[in-house]
Amino acid sequence: MRRRPALWLLTAATIASAPVAAGAQTEKPQSAQRGSQPHIVFILADDLGWKDVGFNGSDIKTPNIDRLADTGLKLQQLYAQPMCTPTRAALLTGRYPMRYGLQTLVILPDQTYGLPTTERTLPQALREAGYSTALVGKWHLGHAKREYWPRQRGFDYHYGPLIGEIDYFTHEMHGQRDWYRNNQPLTEKGYVTTLLGRDAVRLIGAHDPAKPFFMYLAFTAPHTPFQAPQDYLDRYKHVADPQRRAYSAMVTAMDDQIGNVVKALETRGMRDNTIIVFQSDNGGTRSALLAGQIETRGALPADNGPFREGKGSLYEGGTRVAGLVNWPGRIRPGTLDQPVHVVDWFPTLTTRAGGKPGGGLPLDGIDMWPALSEGKPSPRREIVYNVEMFRGAVRQGDWKLFWRTTLPSKIELYDLAKDPSETTNLADQNSALVADLQRRILGLSNEMAKSLFLAATFEALKSAPGGPMALPNEDAFYESDTP
């Protein structure tokens, strides 16, 4: 695929803005004790604002998502990574992306790296437990080499884009089609969100309910470009801003397809034994650069509610996401206002499935089932937002430290219980606590793998037209005294 002309600009702008795990539970899971492994449908939205669902107060119509939230558990402190590729990696490995080099930005079309094949994935663990596995939707964990593709990483079936930032009608990005079924390029017509929903419904309709089933339904909506069919746009004629109108239409179109998936599960008699998780991969986009709209004037359409900034940021607006979990009769309706991280889904879901969370590299995720199903306190005491060589953020209890190490450096400390909007920096008043959290970030940085994005970027610049550029070896950055 063609190289993005703004590669170095994207890197520079992001830099300028800018053993943890508890062991998995070893007791036999309740689902296995009952002799019935649950089906699992994990639904991931792309760049959805925290407030852009009805159950968080939006004026965007999301009745199907809201119904799942009202009859399930709303997750008010659900955290993801600040961008797409890192969150998808964290979900599928149960490990922080900094451990294997995916902590920085996303895999661009011209880059050839991917999720390292040494990482054991969630579909691999579930397939070992007897599940059939399917990815319907966006991958974005490696496209240049087939060894990185979904079918080679534990999915029996894949339909959709390998990267994902595609036109919703042509299925193209930078003039090249990015649309596949089972490793084969595919040409077809249709709106991406509708096609993904239809394929998910088709798979459910053809599935034997007696066999456990894992579907990862990864919508591209409402990621840019902001596009929707006319009938959905007409539902929001009253919205003056054209970008907010299209964005709202995209979210409602996704909600309709989620409703169709739930109905398909009901029709097949699978709904009562299906865990449904819904969340966004990061906060809504508030940066024109990260939205691919450098020339955009005015505000971008995503709404992260009370939380500061958005996608790409280590503030709450970039990392705290809308989310829920629903399993009729097993998870009581209500709200969990305690920390959960996207890495926690790996051990939580694998254990419910009767599988083995272990068997690979040490996990950062924690089995959250007692908190989700019994209302017990969350066992998670720490959130690692991300650690890179130029910034890091960590939360312990209600205290969050954000540390930017590039000049001019910045240290910010927030009490999220009193100040979830991160408006009052308390670093100067809590020097001992700041020092403790800085030491934690430094310790994590010593466990950090080199950023594959930055390594690829340095290599591309060295071989740029006009001869190699005089750049320092990237090893020098990792040998410094700061993360």
* Catalytic positions: 84, 140
Q: Are the C-beta atoms of 360 and 120 separated by less than 8 Å? A: yes
CA distance 332 to 7: 47
Pairing of strands 184-185, 213-218: unpaired
What residues contact 133, with CB distance under 8 A and at least 6 apart?
Answer: 123, 126, 127, 154, 155, 156, 157, 214, 215, 216
